[in-house]
Structures are given as structure tokens and as C-alpha cells.
Structure 1
């Protein structure tokens, strides 16, 4: 556990909301806020916030007013310089993220893409080339109906069968079609899995 100068900024609204959660959630007295990332989402990674009893051995700890923020050292570089806010509107409320490390982002506001390691980036790029080659075979079927598909992100996973993910956005007639999900699963996903067995999931990005 390493206590260090905060490199993740929480606005006053965010800190107030975290303190509210800590005081209103039974059994969380003295807990910390863990901020992390997980593989997945629309653009490659999703933010993950949770209340935890404390830091683990390899965590970086950032002291706040009344609580600590803990971040796993293995992902701290993905979050360095990030600003966390809390927003409320007439229709929704939640934490928002402004991350200078994000190379791409999604409209959902909680997903981003980043190159976290040369090895990972190379593996993703190599698989993306193979996905592009496979899509060259699939696209004529989509384009015949006035549609197409855009590759948003490719996550190579561990190289084992079913460990990789491809995130796609349907465009043209496919994007506005009520059966877009069926097009994705019945045409694109089925063929990609057949051609590239390492792909376990093809997700639709709106």
C-alpha cells in the first residue's frame, strides 16, 4: 500500500456524494472508495467504483476529506490526472469522468479506450487486422441491404478461444433497423466466431 499525493481529482460534489454514501450505507464506516477499470464497455474499458473496507498491498491510496480513494497500482496509469464529478439532471444522476488518458470514449460516459501496455496494444492491433479481413467477407451482405458496420474496439484477451471481444457499430440501414441485434448476432457475430475462434463476444455499440 502506497500513500501518495492525489493524482485523481474528486470535485466537491463528488466528495459530498461519496461521504453521503458512506454515512447512509450500513456497515461502511471507515470504508474507502475504490476506483478501477475493467475490460469491456463500448470503447474498451469501463470505470468501476465501489466502497471497500480498505486498501490492499499493491494499492495507491489518495487521501480525501473524510475518506480515502484507493487505486490498484496496475491501473493507476490509466487514471492519472482524471477528474471525477457528480452530476444530477431531471432524468439521471451519477458520477462523471474526465480522463486525459482516454484515447477514445463512448456516449455512455463510463467507457473509454486507452493503450495501457505495448504488448496489449500490439495484440489488439493484430487481432483487429484479422477482424478487418473477416469483415471484408461479411460487409457485402450488409451493404446489399444498404447497411454496414464499423469496428469500434478489439480486445485480444488472453489469446485463448473465446477470450477476445469485438465492439461494433452498425451504420446505414443496419443502424436504424429494428432487427439490428439480430443482424449482429445472426450474421456478424456468428461468422466472426467461425473465422476467428478466439472471439467470444461481439458487442453492439449504439
Structure 2
């Protein structure tokens, strides 16, 4: 149980730190392949990590892998979640729908580096799991420990956005929450999280 104290014992995606300040980093991530699921949290009856178990089954964390090659895929960290709001594609004059009322959650596992293209990854059995390629991307990133509750995350996002804009970075999309420790293995004070905001 070496992970209880938040020691991260699995691979993480490769990135280069382009700029570092006392409060945040600008990182450039290499291209990668991700397994993702997009779901409406309301359909999962308060099970916050509902998407997690479906992705975990795909790679075979807890048993037989649910992919057509029956291939066990190494777990990497972090688990990445993005909340998209239903109002996103609508003209900004429309009311902005909050995550709770109309949002869908997109959860991703970044697959190990040996998979360079989407078609190299084993095909999921569950059609809700989608394999996609992520190109090179740049984020402003701030780390914090503890439970990544909604209020805490919101505060971190607002502060980071303000700092990035103040320093001349152009925010280029929705923030992403990266959680590095499986919740069932790690006590809250030792969990590592990051809020990541895409920048141009």
C-alpha cells in the first residue's frame, strides 16, 4: 500500500516546463493517445467517479481488461476530467448553463507511451469508451493537495485565469482537472491535483 501517502508510482504524460512562476507553470505536453468517456453525471446517481470504473475496466485495473485484445494496459496518472456546459456552443448572449444543470463530464486516461496512434490501442468492448489522439498542447498549471471539491477547484481556476491573463497568456478553452491518486488508495490530505488551463 505504498500509495496511501500520495507517492505516485505510475507513469505520467511527458511535458516540458516552458515557464515557471512562484504560483504556476506553463507546460507543453507531447502528443498522446487517450481513452475517454463522456457522460452526464446525473445519470450516474451521484456516483462522481462513474466514468472512472468504465475506463478502469477498459484497461483492466481490477480484473479482465474489457478490450477486444484482452490486453492489460498499464495505468498512468493523472485521471483528467473536463466539464463541458450545454451552453458552450451557443451564442454568449444565452444564459450560461452550469455544470450541474446541463453539463457533461469528459474523463480521460492517458494511455502508456508505447501507443503512438489511436489504432494501436486495443479496441474497447464498451462503446462508450472512445480512443483519441491528443496533439501537442500547452497549459497553465497550478497544483494543490487534498480533495478536489467543486468550490476549491473553482477558486483555483479563477485565480489561475487571472494570473495567466495578467501575464499576457491567452486562455484557449475550458479548464481541465487532473487527479493523480486513485481516491480509494489515498487519504485526502495526500492527494495530488492540478488545475490546467489551455493557453495559446
**Common fold, TM-score beyond 0.5?**
no
Greater RCO (Cα-Cα under 8 Å, separation 6 or more): 2
More strand by share: 1
Higher radius of gyration, 1 or 2: 1
More helix by share: 1
